[in-house]
Structure 1
Amino acid sequence: MAIWDFVKDAGKSLFGSEAEAQEAPAQAPAAAPAPQSDTDRKVAALKAELSALGLTGKDVHLTLRGDTVVISGKARDQETLEKLILAVGNIKGIAHVELAEGAGTEAPAAAAAQPLFHTVRKGETLSAIAQQYLGKASRYPEIFEANKPMLSHPDKIYPGQTLRIPQG
């Protein structure tokens, strides 16, 4: 079991405000199905985000406990697993991502290397991060590619965002 920490108040706003969540059931028509709990609504939003990013797996399951997302099941490979961790961790309101006991990848990992993540600080660029981890600022496209589809442009990173650093 592994746990990664994220900046809870940074990231994509996926859950809406508490006020919006409380208003939604009041606006539902009388014949509508029973309203989802707040936790169910948030898990559904997380799953929809993963689906939109193309990071779903048939055996990957999410559980939300407060501000912690627990990932269970098997991702396609190590890269996909790391992207799953980042995709849910970089959501506003999520402070921790935990990999459940027995969770991992369908394909055996070549080496049981721990993922290398970096949390962006104010004023940092992908070039500066590449210089720090990869030894050359010009290698920033490698970090950009390692974080697709969560990143749409190399200049669109923000303080508090956690990025995957490619190894090797």
Structure 2
Amino acid sequence: MGLFDFVGDIGKKIFSKKEEASAAVTNHIAEDNPGVENVSVKVEDGVATLEGNAVSAEALEKAVLMAGNIIGINSVNVDKVSVANGETLAGDDEFYVIQKGDTLWKIAEKTYGNGAKYTAIVNANKEVIKDADKIFPGQKIRLPKAL
């Protein structure tokens, strides 16, 4: 399935030492698990390798974003994750990297022609957007296509 790139020096800080990274990222995903059973993460040289069984491609995408939007993670490898029903990650949603000056309202306006639809973006990213007013440049999110 592949490797997803992220900006390694931005995001949520959840570990201080390299030795803590694997357990910290695994726990982070498990706490707000989007639907990846038996999830485990091994972090080595900034690459988070996810393992487990995703109930859907959407669940796997959310887990990828949860791991990738952490300081110290440069990329996320999902080759060791199986997805139920053989779904692939080439779904209807697309990834978007937040730019300086972006707001969720502006992103929704540009994407859907209606800023009020920013709530759909928040709902699609509830695992990585805990507060709609706290997004940051370089953060990667999902933009649902079907609205």
Could you list the per-position Cα deviations for residues 42-79 of structure 1 after superposition, in whole angstroms to 9, with x for gaps in the alignment?
11001111122133633333222211112233211122
2:66/2:127 contact within 8 Å kept: no
Is residue 100 from structure 1 mapped to residue 79 from structure 2 by the alignment? yes
Q: Which amino acid aligns with 1:49?
A: H
The structure with more radius of gyration: 1
Q: Which amino acid aligns with 2:126?
A: K
Is residue 159 from structure 1 mapped to residue 137 from structure 2 by the alignment? yes
Is residue 75 from structure 1 mapped to residue 64 from structure 2 by the alignment? no
TM-score, normalised with respect to structure 1:
0.76
Q: Which amino acid aligns with 1:66?
A: D
Aligned to 2:100: 122
1:5/1:95 contact within 8 Å kept: yes
Distance 1:114 1:2, change over 3 A: farther
Structure 1, gaps ≥5 residues long: 22-37
Distance 2:10 2:113 in 1: 28
Distance 2:22 2:123 in 1: 27
Distance 1:111 1:96 in 2: 16
Is residue 144 from structure 1 mapped to residue 122 from structure 2 by the alignment? yes
TM-score, normalised with respect to structure 2:
0.86
- CA drift of 1:154 comes to 1.3
- CA drift of 1:111 comes to 8.7
Percent identity between the aligned chains?
32
Structure 2, gaps ≥5 residues long: none
Aligned to 2:31: 52
- In terms of fraction of residues, the more strand-rich structure is 2
User: How do residues 9-24 of structure 1 correspond to structure 2 at under 5 angstroms?
Assistant: 9-16=9-16, 21=17
1:60/1:71 contact within 8 Å kept: yes
Aligned length: 146
1:82/1:115 contact within 8 Å kept: no
